[in-house]
């Protein structure tokens, strides 16, 4: 997880201190969501998409890309935004695509053998998979745009809130 700290926003903090805490949290939450969407969109663009011929049964091409989402939470006055991939719709392999896998043996868990490609095997020597990073490059490529988006959102939203 990468934390990004923006310095030099003392004027913004003074203005936020004058607003009720609820409005402050909503403004910051919205700004973080807008910034995280920039990273999410880039990650979706960079995400590799397999074709239907080499995917396991029940998996659809683009499922990993479609699983990339933004979540925003607030605990103890600290608002955080996350961009996550996988974890839903049978997309358990996001980290394996991002970081790759080492060579490993596949053994049956409940049976004596595995049935693959029309053959019964007791052990399969998997060669591993190369990494195809998409999340980290999305952050690296779009961090400046995300910060700008956050600042613009805050500016526009605060102007609206101050006028109320």
Cα separation of 128 and 143, whole Å? 31
Cα separation of 41 and 63, whole Å? 15
Domain membership flag for residue 111: no
Q: Which of 4, 25, 32, 5 is nearest to 76 (CA)?
A: 25
Domain membership flag for residue 136: yes
Domain membership flag for residue 112: no
- pLDDT tens for 49-102 read 888 777 667 778 888 999 999 999 988 878 899 999 988 667 888 899 899 999
- pLDDT tens for 22-47 read 676 778 899 999 999 999 999 999 99
Domain membership flag for residue 19: yes
Query: For position 45, what pLDDT does the model report?
Result: 96
Cα separation of 106 and 28, whole Å? 47
Domain membership flag for residue 18: yes
Domain membership flag for residue 86: yes
**Domain tally, the chain:** 1
Domain membership flag for residue 114: no
Structural domain that includes position 40: 10-102+130-163
């Amino acid at each position: 997880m990468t934390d990004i700290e923006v310095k030099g926003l003392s004027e913004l903090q003074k203005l936020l201190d004058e607003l009720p805490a609820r409005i402050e949290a909503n403004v910051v939450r919205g700004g973080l969501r807008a910034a995280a969407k920039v990273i999410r969109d880039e990650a979706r663009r960079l995400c590799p998409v397999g074709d239907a011929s080499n995917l396991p049964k029940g998996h659809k091409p683009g499922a990993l890309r479609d699983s990339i989402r933004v979540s925003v939470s607030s605990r103890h006055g600290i608002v955080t935004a996350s961009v996550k991939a996988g974890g839903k719709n049978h997309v358990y392999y996001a980290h394996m695509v991002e970081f790759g896998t080492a060579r490993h043996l596949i053994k049956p868990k409940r049976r004596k053998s595995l049935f693959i490609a029309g053959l019964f095997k007791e052990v399969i020597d998997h060669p591993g998979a190369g990494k195809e990073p998409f999340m980290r490059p999305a952050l690296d490529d779009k961090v400046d745009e995300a910060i700008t988006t956050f600042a613009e959102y805050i500016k526009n939203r605060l102007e609206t809130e101050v006028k109320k």
